[in-house]
Amino acid sequence: MKPETAQATLLIKGGGFDSIAGELTRPGLIWRLHAIQSGEPSRYVPIPPEYASPQQLAHELEIFGFPLDGHPLERYCDRVRGLPLALARELAQYVGRTAILLGWLVTEKIVTSKKGEPMEFVTFEDQTSLYDATLFPDTYRRYCHLLGTNQAYVVSGVVEEHFDTITLTVHRLQPLSTPRSADADTPLEEGASDPYTEPHGAL
């Protein structure tokens, strides 16, 4: 029985056949699937290169809702090598200090401040734990267009504790899974001054 082409293509793109593909890439498997359906001899089918790692991850998230191999942030280790990253599970040790973390955006909620300005509460995770972050109005205006679930970021801000809850007040945000903007090219350094920070009080 011939496989249903559309569904089989999705499974291939998502990596569902990687364990039995041998040396064939995911695009190579798709070529062969269509060759089978069309009756074209497989010996004439090319072997195209593998999808780039970010594209593989995007396919897996789109099709399955989760990556098939490890945490998605592991794919960005080379891009953040050398940064003095804090771990989410150790965030309480940084209260009152600036910290830089990796963040995979899990959920976001837009609210308004007392002045009626939009701001956002975000939940990120790194490879160790979830952590909550706040983008106050000035920071939100600067970075709101970069925010999206299932995206990777380098997040910099001040760690604060209110009512036994640890949160990160975001000052800088750099996307890792999208092309860098001019602002994102500026290195994130521990303790560096930031012209985009803002004072904030009660919401």
- Give the pLDDT score at 1: 52
Give me the half-sphere count of Cα atoms (radius 13 Å) on the Cβ side of residue 75: 19
Distance, in Å, from the CA atom of 198 to the CA atom of 135, rounded to the nearest integer, reads: 10
Nearest to 136 by CA among 156, 174, 163, 110: 110
pLDDT digits (tens, 9 = 90+) for 191-202: 444 434 445 554
Residue 190 pLDDT greater than 50, yes or no: no
pTM of the model: 0.61
Confidence label for 177 from pLDDT (cuts 50, 70 and 90): low
Structural domains for the chain: 5-69 (no CATH), 76-185 (2.40.50.140)
pLDDT in tens, 69-123: 667 787 777 888 889 999 999 999 999 999 999 999 989 999 999 999 999 999 9
Q: What is the pLDDT of residues 21-64, one digit of tens each?
A: 888 888 888 888 887 777 665 566 777 888 787 777 777 777 77
